[in-house]
């Protein structure tokens, strides 16, 4: 019997993640017009503006900050597309954004303000890396997961004052990246347990 490579599933995954990237490529620049109203700011959250816990992840410090995060989202779409429907991916993004905001609020009270999609993006890359591990794509999974870990350690070591900090005109809040990655681990638990039970 002749066996051919079935590329329909990976292609569908890439299309779904690309559609998500398109949505955010349109949405995030528009939200910049409401930067001050959406920025995560502890004092304003205390005053009752609770939406900032989530909306802070959707605005950026400057143009370059926005471009870096959108470039990362498109990179994810092509090297590690997520194996989920568009609606599931949107729910995952909402969950990861919640993890970032809640983590900053409860565990990092020293950070008064935060802006940027990178915490959520790190979580999405972690999901992609875990999926590649499950697919036994060891090299790409290692590049993604070690890259995430290495960048986070570097930002911690440098106190958030890395080269990217000067570009975005703000310290890199590596804690937000950790909370996003922790959220992705929580999302991955059911799949990991399911795979273990099949062995």
32: CB partners within 8 A, 6+ apart? 59, 60, 66
Residue 179 placed within a domain: yes
Both tokens of residue 79?
């090297």
User: What pLDDT sits at residue 42?
Assistant: 98
Domains contained in the chain, number: 1
Residue 43 placed within a domain: yes
User: What pLDDT sits at residue 25?
Assistant: 98
* CA-closest candidate to residue 191, choices 105, 49, 92: 92
Q: Are 21 and 73 in contact (CB under 8 A)?
A: yes
Residue 154 placed within a domain: yes
User: What pLDDT sits at residue 191?
Assistant: 77
Residue 3 placed within a domain: no
Q: What is the dihedral of CA 152, 153, 154, 157, to 10 degrees?
A: 130
How do beta strands 40-41 and 113-114 pair? Answer: antiparallel
Residue 191 placed within a domain: yes
Residue 1 placed within a domain: no
- Those residues of the chain that have pLDDT short of 70 are 1-10, 160, 195-199
Residue 104 placed within a domain: yes
**Domain housing 64:** 8-197
Q: Are 179 and 152 in contact (CB under 8 A)?
A: no
Residue 2 placed within a domain: no
Residue 20 maps to which CATH number? 1.20.1540.10
Q: What is the 3-state secondary structure (H, E, C) of the chain?
A: CCCCCCCHHHHHHHHHHHHHHHHHHHHHHHHHHHHHHHCEEHHHHHCCCCCHHHHHHHCCCCHHHHHHHHHHHHHHHHHCCCCCCHHHHHHHHHHHHHHHHHHHHHHCCCCCEECCCHHHHHHHHHHHHHHHHHCCCHHHHHHHHHHHHHHHHHHHHCCCCCHHHHHHCCCCCHHHHHHHHHHHHHHHHHHHHHHHHCC
Which neighbouring-strand residues pair with 40?
A: 114
């Amino acid at each position: 019997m002749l066996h051919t490579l079935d590329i329909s599933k990976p292609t569908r995954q890439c299309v779904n993640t690309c559609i998500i990237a398109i949505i955010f490529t349109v949405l995030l620049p528009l939200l910049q017009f409401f930067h001050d109203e959406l920025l995560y700011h502890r004092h304003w959250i205390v005053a009752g503006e609770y939406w900032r816990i989530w909306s802070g992840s959707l605005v950026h410090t400057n143009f370059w900050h926005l471009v870096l995060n959108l470039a990362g989202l498109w990179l994810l779409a092509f090297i590690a597309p997520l194996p989920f429907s568009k609606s599931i991916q949107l729910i995952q993004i909402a969950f990861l954004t919640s993890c970032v905001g809640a983590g900053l609020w409860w565990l990092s009270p020293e950070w008064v303000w935060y802006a940027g999609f990178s915490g959520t993006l790190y979580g999405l890359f972690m999901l992609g890396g875990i999926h590649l591990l499950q697919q036994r794509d060891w090299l790409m999974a290692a590049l993604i997961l070690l890259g995430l870990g290495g960048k986070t350690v570097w930002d911690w070591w440098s106190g958030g004052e890395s080269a990217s900090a000067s570009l975005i005109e703000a310290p890199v809040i590596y804690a937000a990246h950790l909370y996003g990655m922790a959220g992705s681990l929580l999302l991955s638990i059911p799949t990991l347990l399911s795979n273990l039970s099949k062995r």
